[in-house]
Chain A
Amino acid sequence: MKVKTRIVGNVLVVNVLGELDLNTAPNFRSAIEKELGPNPDITDILLIMKDITFMDSSGLGVILGSHKRLNAYGGEIIIAAPSPQVRKVFELSGLIRVISVYGTEDEAWAKVVGV
């Protein structure tokens, strides 16, 4: 699994590649915390999931944890372009009712910039 991050304004853009499970979730969590820690101005995370080939509830735990952290200050985590397998995990867990999930990167960016 690889995690690429960049900051655009107040948004941390996270692109994850590979499989997200119990073994890889700690690295995913660390990559996010490494950026959030020294950058208190970050309000939201845009998580681009098009290159995630598998995710289980270990990945969900990291996503929900990040969402709660941002939500405490009025921000949120926004999910872009999940595969059908990843979307199913969001649906089965009920997290899709809590977190914004968009089918494409363009739709998610529109949410981020408020258009």
Chain B
Amino acid sequence: MDIKNYVTLEFPAVPENVEFARVTIACFASQIHSFTLEEIDDIKLVVSEAISNTVLHSYDDDKGIIRLSATRNDNILTVTVQDFGKGIADINQAKTPAFTTDPQRMGMGFTIMEALADELHIFSAPGEGVKVTMKKLAHGAGKDSDGREV
């Protein structure tokens, strides 16, 4: 499969970068002109949740790194958020709605991500970090990836 465009970024896992990450990916996603504004909002939300999870849970200090990458292929956007921190021992438990290790939070991050992404895959093991990959298809009716009527 030919990849038409891609971007890869690395930055510290700090709260200030949550907005940076979602706005950057939204900007990249807008190259697929058949994405609706609602779908771009969905992408921003999924990225925000994924980056927030990493900032909150992956590292014990603010020196950890997040690798964020995105590829565009026709009407499909693939976004990967990867860290190199503590990892998740039980992915199914982490995905359970309302499961959280922080009483100040709702534990709905993965639930929201799964609801909005067309595909969501989580890879992790203790001590090996977390890799979350999501795919979003542009459902703009009757348009190709450049927004032309087809």
Contact = CB atoms under 8 A, between A and B. Distances in A.
B19 A23 contact: yes
Given A22-B55, A84-B38, A57 B105 contact: yes
A92 B116 CA distance: 9
A30 interface: no
B146 to A, nearest CB: 26
A21 B19 CA distance: 8
Interface in A17-36: 19, 21-23, 29
Interface residues of A, number: 21
Interface in B51-68: 51-52, 55-56
B52 A58 contact: yes
A23 B112 contact: no
Given A21-B52, A56-B52, A93-B111, 5 more contacts: A22-B48, A29-B104, A54-B45, A58-B52, A89-B112
Nearest 6 A-B pairs (CB), nearest first?
Answer: A23-B15, A56-B48, A22-B52, A61-B105, A93-B108, A85-B41
Per DSSP, chain B at the interface is: helix
Interface residues of B, number: 25
B106 A57 contact: yes
A104 to B, nearest CB: 21
9 contacts: A19-B19, A22-B15, A23-B18, A23-B19, A54-B45, A56-B49, A57-B52, A85-B41, A92-B116
A92 B109 CA distance: 10
A59 B18 CA distance: 13
A58 B41 contact: no
B44 to A, nearest CB: 7
A98 B97 CA distance: 15
A92 B104 CA distance: 19
B2 interface: no
A29 B105 CA distance: 12
Interface of A: 19, 21-23, 29, 54, 56-58, 60-61, 64-65, 84-85, 88-89, 92-95
Given A58-B105, A92-B108, A92-B115, A23 B16 contact: yes
A54 B49 contact: no
A61 B19 CA distance: 17
B106 A64 contact: yes
A58 B51 CA distance: 12
Contacts of B38: 84-85
Contacts of B56: 22
B116 to A, nearest CB: 7
